[in-house]
Amino acid sequence: MPSAFDLIVEQLVEPDARWSLGSFGAVAEFVRDPDEPAEIARNEQAMSVVTPRGAIRLEARESLRAMAFETVTTQSWSQRVALCLPQEQAAMSQRTVLTELGPDTRALRRQDRDALLFDLGLGAIQVDGCIRTADPELIEALRKHARQSLFAAGNPVMELILRHHPHGVFTTRVGRVEIYQAGTEEDAAPSGPQSRVLPQLLALQRAHAASEPIPRGWIACGHLHPAHPLHDVYGRARPFDATRYVAFQRMLSRHGDVEHVRLKRNVTKGVIGGLAPSAIAIPDDHFARASITIALRQLKASEGPSANLTAWFAAHDRGPDPDEVALEG
């Protein structure tokens, strides 16, 4: 079976794949357009992609494990591959106050290696969320507020970041994402690489969303979001793409939960074969129930509606997971 790093190498060259590193409530995303200039480099230990708007570097780790899964969203389903390490290998600094770290000597572009890194102090288990700047004015202001919580009442650091547009740098034990393009308060989600810090979710101190089937003792340090059959890399709707659908189902068979894959296949056979919804017992397992819903939604997308499918939806579609709704928002 291909290793997790084999999968990374295969997918990093695909512009239709999206990547994220971070925690529940604090994440940096890397994405690029098909016609965007990209410098791709690879050796036995790591692979990187650098574009004018951002960059990503992912590293080979002996214990790195790829865990593919699907979750129920408001309109359809998501598909992801979690890049996981054992909990004891995944932990980062977990700083809780703004901290100056010195020059970013590991920056993916040579011209950024003299700029200073400041850890924002997000306190997440598996990611250090940082900003990087060579702006003397911003450096002076950040030093004035060092050793303070980003979320303390009256702390102006977030306002300073929006005003000066430093680079974002999120690092985990599997790699880093760098964000060069500037976002604004009015355009909080620009197309391309971006970071998101959601204090209300970060405060829950979860390593990942409850909808993700990550085994106990493992931490998801990052995610691959392969090309989706119903939308493009920015989430814009597109006609169902059977090739994309089949590609991820193969990935799910290699890196996903065998029982959930088998359950989806049984549901699909049951609906197409004209069986009643009672042919599949409602399992006492959240992830198994989600697998049934996803199978039904994928059937509707690929084959279209039918009377029997409508009956199965009525019996088995439980709607989106609250965590998925929070992440979508």
Position 49: which residue type? Answer: V
d(CA 91, CA 173): 8
pLDDT value of position 35: 95
In order along the chain (329 residues), what is the average pLDDT of each group of 10 residues? 89 97 96 96 96 98 96 94 97 97 98 98 97 97 96 93 95 98 57 91 91 95 97 92 97 95 96 95 89 96 96 89 70
Position 136: which residue type? Answer: P
pLDDT value of position 133: 98
Residues 6+ apart with CB under 8 A from 251: 7, 68, 81, 226
Q: Of 28, 57, 29, whose CA–CA distance to 124 is shortest?
A: 28
Position 86: which residue type? Answer: P
pLDDT value of position 30: 98
Domain ranges of the chain: 4-225, 257-328
Sheet containing 77-86, strands listed edge to edge, beginning at the edge strand earlier in sequence: 65-72, 77-86, 218-225, 18-23, 26-30, 194-197
d(CA 131, CA 113): 13
pLDDT value of position 321: 75
pLDDT value of position 16: 95
Quote the DSSP letter at residue 237: B
pTM, two decimals, is 0.92
pLDDT value of position 329: 52
pLDDT value of position 102: 98
CA count, 13 A, side-chain hemisphere, 198: 18
d(CA 3, CA 5): 5
Query: Which residues in 87-230 belong to E strands, given as ranges?
Result: 99-103, 116-119, 128-133, 167-172, 175-179, 194-197, 218-225
Residues 6+ apart with CB under 8 A from 262: none
In angstroms, the first-to-last Cα distance of the chain is 36
pLDDT value of position 36: 96
202 C-beta neighbours (distance < 10 Å), count: 20
